[in-house]
Amino acid sequence: MRPAGYRGQGFSLRGEKNRFVLPPSFRKVFADNGDDNVLCLIQHDRYPCLSAFGLSRTDSFEELLDKEEENAVRRNHEFDRDLRSMQLWGFAEAAFDKSGRFILPEHLGGLVGIDDNICFLGGGQFITLWDINKLAAMGASFAGPHAACAALADEARAKAKGRGK
């Protein structure tokens, strides 16, 4: 059986105790995949954002390395398996509670400009985490996801304002 995939968008403001909230639709995928409540976080290799996934995804890392190496050989490109392995396995773990609350490691947020908000974008086997302004700067290719996150951000800010934050 194929693991459940992450899809859609979500948004979280930094809340009390410096915590963000993983949206319910993404928490459901963790549960469906049999993952513990651990968010694996790493800097995305091409975009100014973070990638996140559940621990079960690590089961496919050796197969992924094999495929990437085969592709590099076929194209006559160099492939540094050790470096790529470090990139895959170099993630940080952030536990989240039943409500999805987690603390983003500061060093990771600083790498990609995440400060007081996170836009979550589903990407199948992973989630990307963006600062809304960084997402807006990505241009037309990201206009749809940005529009969805901007609407979610407006709702979250209105709700927070109503609570006196």
Q: What is the dihedral of CA 15, 135, 40, 79, to 10 degrees?
A: -160
Q: What is the domain partition of the chain in residue ranges?
A: 9-54+93-162
pLDDT for 120 equals: 97
Strands 9-13 and 20-21, bridge-based pairing: unpaired
> Is the pLDDT reported for residue 18 higher than 90?
yes
Q: How confident is the model at residue 33 (pLDDT cuts 50, 70, 90)?
A: confident
> Is the pLDDT reported for residue 3 higher than 70?
no
Q: Quick one: 9-54+93-162 is in which CATH superfamily?
A: Transcriptional regulator MraZ domain (3.40.1550.20)
> Is the pLDDT reported for residue 165 higher than 80?
no
Place of tokens 């006559």: 76
pLDDT for 66 equals: 96
Tens-digit pLDDT profile for residues 98-126 = 999 999 999 999 999 999 999 999 999 89
CA-to-CA separations, 93 to 27, 89, 98, 152, in angstroms, rounded: 15, 11, 16, 26
pLDDT for 95 equals: 93
CA-to-CA separations, 111 to 50, 51, 66, 102, in angstroms, rounded: 9, 12, 29, 18
Q: What is the pTM of this model?
A: 0.88
Q: How confident is the model at residue 34 (pLDDT cuts 50, 70, 90)?
A: confident
Helix ranges restricted to H, the chain: 24-32, 61-74, 81-89, 106-112, 132-136, 143-162
> Is the pLDDT reported for residue 1 higher than 80?
no
How far from the centroid of its chain's Cα atoms is residue 10's Cα? 11
Tens-digit pLDDT profile for residues 56-99 = 889 989 999 999 999 999 999 999 999 999 988 999 999 999 99
